[in-house]
Amino acid sequence: MAQTEASCRTLSLEAARDRCTAVRTRLSNADLFRPSSTVSSVSFQQPSSGSGAATSWRVSPCPFYLSPDQLQFFINLGPQLLSFYRALNRLYNESVKGIQPAWVAGYLDQGKPEALVQYSRMKRFRDALPAVIRPDVIPTQDGMAITELDSVPGGIGLTACLSYIYHDLDDGDSQLIGGRDGMVRGFARMLRSVQGRREGGIAILVSDESKDYRLEMSWLAAQLHEAGMPVWCVEPHEIRFTEEGLRLQADGSEQSIGVVYRFYELFDLLNIPKAELVQYAAKKGWVSVTPPYKPTLEEKSAFALLHHPRLSPFWEKELGTDCMLHLSAIMPKTWLLDPAPLPAIATIPGLRIGGRAVAHWSDLETATQKERHFVIKPSGFSALAWGSRGVSIGHDMPQTEWVQALRNALASFSTTPYLLQEFHKGRLFEMDYLDEGTQTIVRMSGRARLSPYYVVSDDKAELTGILATICPADKKILHGMKDAIMVPCALRPN
């Protein structure tokens, strides 16, 4: 049965329609929205053709409402995920040193260029962690499920802008998570923490691969600039390298750069102008770069390590029993699709099909549709590992396609490792949105992906806002698309 607590029932249809129109107008003025009639793409993350806004979705008159218990879950989750990143970083470093099993670092380094691996291991970066943490959380009938973690997340500027808009339209009574400007203030606080006492401005570098997010990051940089912070959103080729460090032309003069916020994926380094100069400047200590150049911390296979029985003592020691049990419950069971044969007496830990233990990946090929509630996806260092690309859902595809997806994943292990992960079905919610064609308010039944944004400053993770993406009920993969409703989250009114 669909849940109704997410819908906006207190507004008249006319008031709801006017509010949606106001949301669209303000987003369009910020260059962050284009009506769906002018966009042919079905994906919010689909590459655009130029510098104009190419985002489109269904606009709702109200935020997505959370209960007090749900809000407390998200408040508690940030520190737990920061602890998880710290533990993962320690696990990798100790694996490299031989304190933990060597296969841990072997898996986390699989498919990465050797030069990047060695760079990430430099002592200067040993303790560096992502300064922005965003999990993708699916509310299910049994609770919350985290499908993956993202340390180079999109949606920061968009969520910030939506928070401004919905707060103002509701006269500040909506109790938005993070408040009107929590996203902007939190991002500023994070940048100052990264900068420390280092002189120079802050450059948000957005690559061509990530160009669809350039407009929202430019909007964010403009808000910070208006608040007095020397922040500029630029393309990598605009950076100039000198013997003193990195510089760029902005505000009518040449500016020195002390912090680089990296908005590009590490798999794409060879296609990014001057990326090696940014690395060199960071190595010399001329600039601070966040997220750090550490592909280990962007690996989805970290979920598989959390659930590996041989590593349980490590996780319990580093996280504490309560945190380990909680994360193990909300992070789906995950396995790395390693084609290496197992001994005759061995089975794959925790993997069962129809009540039977699995000893070979080929056992999955004969699984029935009901037994194939699994997802196959790239583990991280790949152009297919973002925007829901490269994802195969077992129970949503014919047997022949499932077998082929499984075999292709195993064959790609040496260059692009893949994961097998339990599929968790989202519960249904009802949300209202404005139908652009008829200009009427329509109620949609859909499944939600909640994306909380945590910023790290002074070694603490703080919740600054949550973006809800509600996709039609028939969609299996939940991500930004023109048929989805995208709104900030708020505490449900009494």
CA-closest candidate to residue 290, choices 174, 106, 156, 424: 156
pLDDT in tens, 14-57: 999 999 999 999 999 999 987 655 443 333 333 333 333 336 89
22 belongs to a structural domain = no
pLDDT at 263 over 70: yes
pLDDT of residue 216: 96
Instruction: Identify the domain containing residue 401 by its residue range.
Output: 336-422
pLDDT at 92 over 50: yes
pLDDT in tens, 364-381: 999 999 999 999 999 877
25 belongs to a structural domain = no
Q: Enter the pTM of the model.
A: 0.93
pLDDT at 113 over 60: yes
pLDDT at 283 over 60: yes
Q: Is 158 in contact with 134 (CB distance < 8 Å)?
A: no
Count: domains in the chain: 1
pLDDT of residue 172: 62
pLDDT of residue 54: 39
379 belongs to a structural domain = yes
Both tokens of 397, joined, read: 């595809």
Instruction: Return the minimum-mean-pLDDT range out of 294-298, 388-392, 465-469.
Output: 388-392
Q: Is 20 in contact with 27 (CB distance < 8 Å)?
A: no
pLDDT of residue 1: 36
| Angle, helices 182-195/156-169, rounded to nearest 10 degrees | 140
Give the DSSP letter of residue 238. Answer: G
382 belongs to a structural domain = yes
pLDDT of residue 409: 95
142 belongs to a structural domain = no
Q: Is 153 in contact with 132 (CB distance < 8 Å)?
A: yes
Q: Between 355 and 481, name the one with better pLDDT.
A: 355
CA-closest candidate to residue 143, choices 326, 387, 275: 326
If residue 241 lies in a helix (H) or strand (E), which one and from where to where?
A: strand 240-242
CA atoms within 13 A on the CB side of 340: 9
The fraction of the chain above a pLDDT of 70, given in percent, is: 93
Give residue 479's pLDDT band: very low, low, confident or very high (50, 70, 90).
confident
pLDDT of residue 47: 32
